[in-house]
Structure 1
């Protein structure tokens, strides 16, 4: 029997180093690995914009028990739409801390509040344009 793992892979269009620093603070993310284009053992098969060798070719951060992959891509425009990343906490204070941290420089779409399905639920778009849902389940 094979195991499948779904991992989000986000492209930050030149802002990956900034995003990694932000998520380390906002979400207590741990950097598992980070390779810049200049560190690659092979030249990129894609043409890169001037100065792009300093940009992130591939990185992995761990948020809680989940990993998120990220890159600056190859110079294409950064676009996030049609999805949200969901953070599920057991502790309301920790959920509030994460929600407020993600809101800094971003935009709150729904305040963190009690709902019929959660002790706390809120939606926010961070300063990079990534949509997040922060939740403490009713059963927690």
Structure 2
């Protein structure tokens, strides 16, 4: 397994929260992407283009705090339960194995599949109520 990191999900204030975390940890963002930065075929409604699609902030020697806002109407954020364990797999096979194993008996939010940023990406809640994100992006 390459990395396991906390992933925080916000309704509409991810950038504000991460600027606060950035000031506390005195670090710089590795990545800050807004939904409006997406390729043309993945553009959100104009009133959501400012929302954060992905942010990554190193907070320790081997830990990266990650986060995003959630698009309106998805209903996936419940304050107090708005975090996931993010797994950065080392291969597509590992991503598939971990995704299929941990999601068994749970609820898949986004099936594992190719995206414009990754070869394999998926999200689910396991049978114990824990949210997970599995990602394999070989060039990151």
- TM-score, structure 1 length as denominator? 0.48
- TM-score, structure 2 length as denominator? 0.48
Larger radius of gyration: 1
